[in-house]
Chains A and B, each alone.
Chain A
Amino acid sequence: MRKFIYIISFFFSAQFALAQEVPTLLFKDILKKVENTEGLVILNVWATWCKPCVAELPHFQKVQDSLRSQGVHIIIASADFDTQLPNIKPFLDKRGLTLDACHIKDGGESGWIDMFDPSFTGAIPATAFYLNGKKVLFHEGDFTEAELFKIVNEILKQK
């Protein structure tokens, strides 16, 4: 019986540990989610090792916090190595970031880079804006907080 409880508790703790990781998804499935979401969806590709990416994450958090009621939804997709997967959630938690996060499962092969945008060269950060499932803007590079708010407000005006 004790063994049984041990096994059960191990199973639950394993489940718990899994819940501490961000989901790892194929890029096409991330895009499907984006394209099936109404309102303004911002998809940002970042990585824990990428300094400019990490520096702009708080800007996305601010936009998310202040404009959620206006139908803004932000997804941050990490391009980290899959070995880094267990560290992504703690990395975000430590910085107080509660953004909708996932990990890009597509390794090595570069197909997803063109899928994101044909002009995307792979240099991150990179961000795309979708209005009611249609991409309206793609940007390779980072944003200041002011730039990000300006673009988001401009797109929201077009809604």
Chain B
Amino acid sequence: MKKLLFALFMGASIGVSAQGFNLDSKVTDFELIGVDNAKHTLSGGNDRNKGAIVVFTCNHCPFSKAYEQRIIDLDNKYRSLGYPVIAISSNDPAIEPEDSFEEMQKLAAEKKYPFPYLFDETQEVAKAYGATRTPHVFVVEKVKDAYVLRYRGAIDDNAKPEGEIKKKYVEDAVDALLAKKKVKVKEVKAVGCTIKWKKD
């Protein structure tokens, strides 16, 4: 019966199953256009970088909006320590016009984003990383020439803009990596907006 439902379900061809890279495994580099019209890669930043905080986010999602300042703060705190933020929007603007490249450019200028804000037009990067929602964070550590996934999930334990934050998961992960320690909490799920996948 379960099998039948599953078959039926797959037949309806809805939903995107995103597996993504495993924790403590290498991730693939990407090359995407940023709101500055330049190409950006994971590895292309400062040679002294020790890793990166890759944030799948977007313009329209209320959760992304609630976290916007906290994402800026993460970059301001960790860029100089070798963990810059790289923000990526993978949403299909045909579904969410507020997430078009032009709107991304406007928002980045308006909010003076200190980090690159990249457009994943083909959605391949989101699929490869297994990003499903916004915001969805991937902390990667540079190991020799490769980047290894060390943390995946929520920024902290309270999305509410005025809420009390008890645990800062991304900061804890990056702090551990900077101290050459193991990341204790490697994944935290949280509610977010679905990435707006292109309709087949």
Residue of B nearest to A125 (CB): B194
Residue B190 lies at the interface, judged by CB distance under 8 Å to chain A: yes
A14 CB within 8 Å of chain B: no
Given A110-B190, A124-B194, A141-B16, answer yes or no on A136-B133 (Cβ-Cβ < 8 Å): no
Chain B, Cβ-Cβ closest to A47: B191
Chain A residues in 8 Å Cβ range of B9? 137, 139, 151
Decide if B14 touches A124 in the complex (CB within 8 Å). no
Q: By DSSP majority rule, is chain B's interface helix, strand, loop, or mixed?
A: loop
B1-52 contacts to A (CB < 8 Å): 1-2, 4-6, 8-9, 12, 14-16, 18
Q: Which residues of B contact A51 (CB under 8 A)?
A: 96
Which among B142-150, B152-160, B175-183 touches the partner chain? B152-160
- Give the chain B neighbours of A52 by CB distance below 8 A: 194
Chain B residues with Cβ under 8 A from A114's Cβ? 189
Residues of B near any A CB (own CB < 8 A): 1-2, 4-6, 8-9, 12, 14-16, 18, 62-63, 96, 132-133, 136, 153-154, 157-160, 163, 166-167, 188-195
Listed A/B pairs (5) with beta-carbon separation below 8 Å: A124-B194, A137-B5, A140-B194, A143-B14, A154-B5
